Chains A and B, each alone.
Chain A
Amino acid sequence: MIEVKNLGKTFGDHEVLKDISLTVRKGEVISIIGPSGCGKSTFLRSLNLLEKPTAGIVEFESINILDPSTDVDKLRQKIGMVFQSFNLFPHKTVKENIMLAPVKLGLMTEEEASAKADELLNRIGLSDKADQYPSRISGGQQQRVAIVRALAMNPDVMLFDEPTSALDPEMVGEVLNLIKTLADSGMTMIVVTHEMGFAREISDRVLFFNDGVIAEENVPEELFGNPQNERLKDFLSKML
């Protein structure tokens, strides 16, 4: 579904990503862990061109997204993204947040989007918050709305960029549960996270990023149970 070949990214002189290759299959859940500044967020954001890679190829459903003739806006509709800081639209109600993109992009009529939003809000138990502005609901609730806002576009893949890092501890659970439900439903996902237990539980594969390269890649049991890379060992020991 996603094919990354020799991806590189530099900011000025600083090389953030070095020659990264990765294949993501349909239905696969991949977690990316690693120390701060290792390039894991930059990598994730390269997949929907929020960052423009300086080298390599990114193919999404066999289309090279770096080709200037590719309609990136069209591709992004199929790639959902959830941000650390939620990024809900503060001037729109919860429901309007969900409906805005499908309606504005002409994918759904007002009525269809409304029905979809109701269904999604019902699924996450926030039907009663539909007409609230984001500032009136908790961080956990905001992040769950942000997730279903992305889901409203019926994406083929979901990217999570440290979805729980900005949350108070007591709210982390509800968000992780929602992501887990999503994983169980067969959604293709790439999750950048610091929640090791979570990564271990939901992932088909875990990538350990260090200094802009994938330092170690394995099924979660092996990577967490039997780490090979010295830096990974060090990292895991600090995280536990």
Chain B
Amino acid sequence: MIAVIAVVAIVVVAAGSYAVLGGEKKDVLIVETSPDFAPFDYMYGSEFVGIDMDIVRAVCDDMGYKVEFRQNNFDSILMSVPQGKADIGASGFTISEERAKSVNFSIPYASINQVVVAPVDTDIKTLEDVRGKVIPVQNGTTGADYAAGVSSSVIYQKTYSDVILDVSTGKADCEIVDSTVAVAQIAAHPELQVLDILTDSPVENYGFIFSKDNQALLDKFNASLQKIMDNGIYESIWNYYEKNGFSPETPSFFSYRGVLTVETSPDFPPFEYIYGTEYAGIDMDLMQAICYDINYRLVMKDNNFDSIIMSVTQGKSDMGASGFTISEDRKKQVLFSDPYAEIKQVVVVSKDSNIKTLDDVRGKTISVQTGTSGADYAATLSSNIIYQKTYSDVVQDILTGKADCEVVDSTVAAAQAARNSNLRVLDITDAEVEYYGFIFAKESQELCDLINESLARLTANGTVDKIIAYYADNEYKEVPSYYSSHDIEEFESHDGFWGGLWDRINNDFLKNDRYQYLFKGLENTLIITVIALLIGMALGAIVAMIRSTHDITGKFVILNAISKLYVTVIRGTPVMVQLMIIYYVVFASINFNPVLIASVAFGLNSGAYVAEVIRSGINAVPKGQMEACRSLGMSSRMAMTTVILPQAIRNILPALGNEGITLLKETSVAGYIGIMDLTRGGDIIRGQTYDALLPMVVVAVIYLAIVLVLTKLVGMLEKRLNNAY
């Protein structure tokens, strides 16, 4: 499932650590480690993982600090900690009197003895056999010291990988190493075994190292370490790694609690929007805070607002966070979390509007976003409602005078007004105050409870208020996530339609690398088009052959009926409906890459049109061609593939080219199942900048450019085929 999500989702991981922090901004502790010492310190993907790492995470969380892991050589850590370059060294440091002269040690967190690791066919049996052998060790470890006392042929390596290489390639006889590390090593190297024969080796204790100058930090750390030892977290971490055989393939204990997939429609500032490449907004930060609180990894998915409820009820995502108003209607479909925001409906008008009271609004043309509470309320005021898919379109309606006003949640209104000085917010409605909640599938009561408990904790400790205050303090402008390391940039106003074109280009495409949405979207659009075209051609050719063969010979009665039904249904229904049915109904219980599902859906759609095109091409080939083939003894299938189809394809090449062009443009509805295609990429930019026009024009130009290239290619192909005969 993670692999699938990776394609479509942006993994939101706050800098440093992701799992164990409470939901507030904290001071950062820099922790250095040499991540080649499984199971204590190693990398899993880009994460620092291991017993040391997770104990540090748990302790720092308890202390109220954020952790930033850095890697360094084992030896160098002993220098950078005393120098204050790092706050903590966590790399399986054995507590020794000698080291204690230069650094402070925490209370011990592990007890380790030394063992021998040797090939399974070794003749080493006792401590005596080890003496005088060639022994590789990691420089600076206890094993190294011990080995020096046992043999004079000690190879000092910088990493355990090199040590293992020496033993497994026969360059050395055996390794001397901590027992826990040994278990992890043989898990990955079945050709090696562990021999617990070093009866005179010291039993050692591991401690984290601190600078001598920071006794206060050490005391605080020790207190928290003792606490997690007492409350069971420490034991859970050990058990977790032991249960996984101390294998370096084990992800962090904290990340392992689970992945929380959350869908949002990030065009709803200040609740959800995209800043640069990060999800930002009140909902997003609440989710981030909750995930820190419950030790889940947060994975955000982008989808249309309308589609999220369906997606969540089908389990395509764990929950939805997109400013969902808690309503009785929706409660029939989904579970709601406890409310996290209180919203009332307001009216947004252009600066020079003469709307002053609620009565002025009645009967006016009101623009709203489909599916919002504002839309429902607006319908009670007027019958002239414009239903838009995004708020950028709504705002555009007001600015261009297409609509007299907008009805929208107060917070969103504030964000819009902050973005555009031509808008005014009027607090004149009599709509009931509403509450936002996160949504879950009906079956997800347990998850809902977990989130509610967390939300209660975060409300109690002030995190929720802090997040909301952060956005309010920034006047609901588009700012980076509360958890982001980005600085807040000054917002540049771009009033007027053609005014400040350069500023708008800069704001729409260059700032925060927004052009990336178009690139990524274009990539998806092209992938979907190409795969769909291939599927469509193959399917279309098969269906056309079945139908034409049936027309000529009367064979394939059942296949022909199926083909006819397929063509009729596909051609008789809109592609968007087909797409949603395939994604939400056919593939409902399967969590499959949406881009591939879309490719299949568009391929199925295209197949029906291609089938009819090819069939007409086949019909245009004179009947005598088939008769000539049959009279020569060729089967109808052979005649079809070698004689009829090649001629048919040439006849229909222009029509097939048109089908490809149509397909390319039809993929623009892929956004309905949460795929960021080119059109959706443009929508996201529009949602961020409230510039309704320019991103759309650029998207159009890109489509046009591709179509022109396609047309040219088809033309060239046609010419080549025409030259042939």
> Which single member of B622, B633, B638, B725 contacts A76 (CB below 8 Å)?
B633
| Chain A contacts for B638, CB-based, 8 A | 104-105
Q: Is the Cβ of B646 less than 8 Å from the Cβ of A76?
A: no
Q: Is the Cβ of B627 less than 8 Å from the Cβ of A89?
A: no
Q: What is the total number of residues of chain A having a CB less than 8 Å from a CB of chain B?
A: 28
Cβ of A31 under 8 Å from chain B: no
* Given A91-B724, A100-B642, also A150-B647 (CB < 8 A): no
Distance between Cα atoms of A79 and B634 in the complex (Å):
12
Q: Is the Cβ of B647 less than 8 Å from the Cβ of A74?
A: no
Q: What is the total number of residues of chain B having a CB less than 8 Å from a CB of chain A?
A: 20
Cβ of B624 under 8 Å from chain A: yes
| Chain A contacts for B725, CB-based, 8 A | 90-91, 133-135
Distance between Cα atoms of A133 and B725 in the complex (Å):
6
| Chain A contacts for B642, CB-based, 8 A | 100, 104
| Chain A contacts for B585, CB-based, 8 A | none
Q: Is the Cβ of B650 less than 8 Å from the Cβ of A91?
A: yes
Q: Is the Cβ of A77 less than 8 Å from the Cβ of B624?
A: no
Which stretch from A14-22, A80-88, A177-185, A212-220 is at the chain B interface? Answer: A80-88
Q: Is the Cβ of B628 less than 8 Å from the Cβ of A87?
A: yes
- Quick one: CB contact mask for B615-631 with A, threshold 8 Å, 1 for yes? 00000001011011111
Cβ of A101 under 8 Å from chain B: yes
Tell me the minimal C-beta distance from B639 to chain A in angstroms: 10
Q: Is the Cβ of B631 less than 8 Å from the Cβ of A79?
A: yes
Q: Is the Cβ of A83 less than 8 Å from the Cβ of B634?
A: no
| Chain B contacts for A101, CB-based, 8 A | 629, 632-634
Q: Is the Cβ of A150 less than 8 Å from the Cβ of B632?
A: yes
| Chain B contacts for A133, CB-based, 8 A | 724-725
Within 72-129 of A, Cβ neighbours of B (below 8 Å) are at: 73-77, 79-81, 83, 85, 87-91, 100-101, 104-105
Cβ of B474 under 8 Å from chain A: no
Tell me the minimal C-beta distance from B346 to chain A in angstroms: 69
Q: Is the Cβ of A87 less than 8 Å from the Cβ of B622?
A: yes
Tell me the minimal C-beta distance from B714 to chain A in angstroms: 19
| Chain B contacts for A77, CB-based, 8 A | 632-633
Cβ of A188 under 8 Å from chain B: no
Q: Is the Cβ of B650 less than 8 Å from the Cβ of A83?
A: no
Residue of B nearest to A146 (CB): B628
| Chain B contacts for A199, CB-based, 8 A | none
Tell me the minimal C-beta distance from A209 to chain B in angstroms: 21
Tell me the minimal C-beta distance from B620 to chain A in angstroms: 12
| Chain B contacts for A48, CB-based, 8 A | 631
Cβ of A63 under 8 Å from chain B: no
Q: Is the Cβ of A73 less than 8 Å from the Cβ of B628?
A: no
Cβ of B635 under 8 Å from chain A: yes
Q: Is the Cβ of A73 less than 8 Å from the Cβ of B633?
A: yes
Cβ of B472 under 8 Å from chain A: no
Residue of B nearest to A83 (CB): B624
> Which single member of A73, A134, A135 contacts B634 (CB below 8 Å)?
A73
Residue with the highest number of chain A CB atoms closer than 10 Å, among B633, B634, B724? B633
Distance between Cα atoms of A134 and B628 in the complex (Å):
14
| Chain A contacts for B635, CB-based, 8 A | 73
Q: Is the Cβ of B647 less than 8 Å from the Cβ of A50?
A: no
Q: Is the Cβ of B627 less than 8 Å from the Cβ of A87?
A: yes
Q: Is the Cβ of B633 less than 8 Å from the Cβ of A74?
A: yes
Q: Is the Cβ of A76 less than 8 Å from the Cβ of B631?
A: yes
Residue of A nearest to B725 (CB): A133
Cβ of B229 under 8 Å from chain A: no
Cβ of A9 under 8 Å from chain B: no
Residue of B nearest to A76 (CB): B633
| Chain A contacts for B531, CB-based, 8 A | none
Cβ of A40 under 8 Å from chain B: no
| Chain B contacts for A91, CB-based, 8 A | 643, 646-647, 650, 724-725
Q: Is the Cβ of A83 less than 8 Å from the Cβ of B646?
A: no
* Given A85-B624, A89-B625, also A104-B634 (CB < 8 A): yes
* Given A89-B643, A91-B647, A135-B725, also A153-B632 (CB < 8 A): yes
A residues near B (Cβ < 8 Å) are 48, 50, 73-77, 79-81, 83, 85, 87-91, 100-101, 104-105, 133-135, 146, 149-150, 153
Between A and B, 19 residue pairs with Cβ closer than 8 Å are A48-B631, A50-B631, A73-B635, A74-B633, A76-B632, A79-B631, A83-B628, A85-B622, A87-B622, A87-B625, A89-B625, A90-B725, A100-B632, A100-B642, A101-B634, A104-B642, A105-B634, A133-B725, A150-B631
Q: Can you name 7 extra interface pairs (CB under 8 A) apart from A73-B634, A83-B631?
A: A50-B627, A74-B633, A75-B633, A100-B643, A104-B634, A104-B638, A153-B632
